[in-house]
A and B are shown apart, each in its own frame.
Chain A
Amino acid sequence: MYKKTRGKPTDQSKGGKHMNCEIEQIGGALVVKLSGEIDQHCAEELRGDIDRQLDIKRSASLIIDLGDVDFMDSSGLGLIMGRYRKMQARGGKLLLARPTPAVDKLLELSGINKLVGRERTK
C-alpha cells in the first residue's frame, strides 16, 4: 500500500496543512482514500501520485473515497474531472465513494454526479 501524509496543520515547512492520501490496489480497482483538505495547493501533487499508481498498476477502475475529506473547492473538481477523463481514455471507469454533504453539493453543482458513478459498498 502506498501511503502519504502531509504535514500537521502548523507544519509550514512541509507546505502547511493538510491532506492524506492512501492508495491501495484491491482486485482490479485502485482505491484512493483522501482525507483532510483538497485545494489547489495539494491538487497537483495528488494528481501525480494517483496517476503514477494508475500507470504502474494498470487498474481497470479507480475508486476515490471522499469520506474523510473535510474541505474541497473547485480544484478538487478539476482533479476528479481529470481522473474521469483519464479512466475514460483507457476504457476504465471512475467511482466516487462517501462524499460528505458539503462535497456532494459541489459535485452536484459541477454536473460530475451525472457523469461519475457511486461506489456504495464502502
Chain B
Amino acid sequence: MRNYMKLEIPSKSLNEAFARAAVGAFAAQADPTVEELADIKTSVSEAVTNSIIHGYRDTVGVIYIECEARVEKTCVIEITVRDEGVGIPDVERAMEPLFTTAPDEERSGMGFTVMQSFMDTLDVTSEKGKGTTVKMSKEINAGIGDE
C-alpha cells in the first residue's frame, strides 16, 4: 500500500507548528510509537524552520512539503521539504554539528544533526540561488497495512 500527501505553505513562522502537526497527523496512520512520532515532528520542524529563516531570509516564499507512506512488512515514511530560497553554498559544512550562519539569533546549529539522528536517512541537495531540498525517511515498526 502507498499513501501520500502534498502541502504548500508560505514561509511564515506561525506555519512551523502547522507543518509538523500536519505531517504528524499523516504519519500517525502508520501507528508510530510516541518517540517515533516526536522524532518525525521535530525533524519536520527543523527543515521547515530552516526554509523560513535561512532559505527565505529576506522574503516570504513557498515551502513545498511532500509525504509518502510505503507499507510492506513495516511502514516507511518519506518526507521532502523544499524551498526556492538562497540555497546552501557548502552543504557538507552546513550539516556539521553546531555550524550556523546565524549565531547572533541564538541558532544552535543543531538542526541538521537533529534530522540526521532522529530519522533513518537524510539527503540534502542545494544550489546557491536556486533553493534547498531536504529528503528524509524513517521506518515505523507497526504497519498500516494490517487492515
Could you tell me which A residues sit within 8 Å of B by CB distance? 12, 15-18, 37, 39-41, 43-44, 47, 71-75, 77-79, 81-82, 101-102, 105-106, 109-110
Contacts and interface: CB of A to CB of B under 8 A. Distances in A.
Secondary structure of the A side of the interface?
helix
Interface of B: 13-18, 20, 34-35, 38, 41-42, 45-46, 49, 52-53, 105-108, 110-111, 113-114, 117
Given A18-B17, A102-B42, 5 more contacts: A17-B14, A39-B16, A41-B14, A73-B46, A78-B107
B17 A40 contact: no
Given A71-B41, A77-B108, A40 B53 contact: yes
A110 B114 CA distance: 9
B12 to A, nearest CB: 9
A15 B105 CA distance: 20
A18 B16 CA distance: 11
A74 B106 contact: no
Contact of B17 (A39, A44, A105, A109): A39
23 contacts: A12-B14, A16-B14, A16-B17, A17-B14, A18-B17, A37-B17, A39-B17, A40-B49, A41-B16, A41-B17, A44-B105, A71-B41, A72-B42, A73-B42, A77-B108, A77-B110, A78-B108, A79-B106, A82-B106, A102-B34, A102-B42, A109-B113, A109-B117
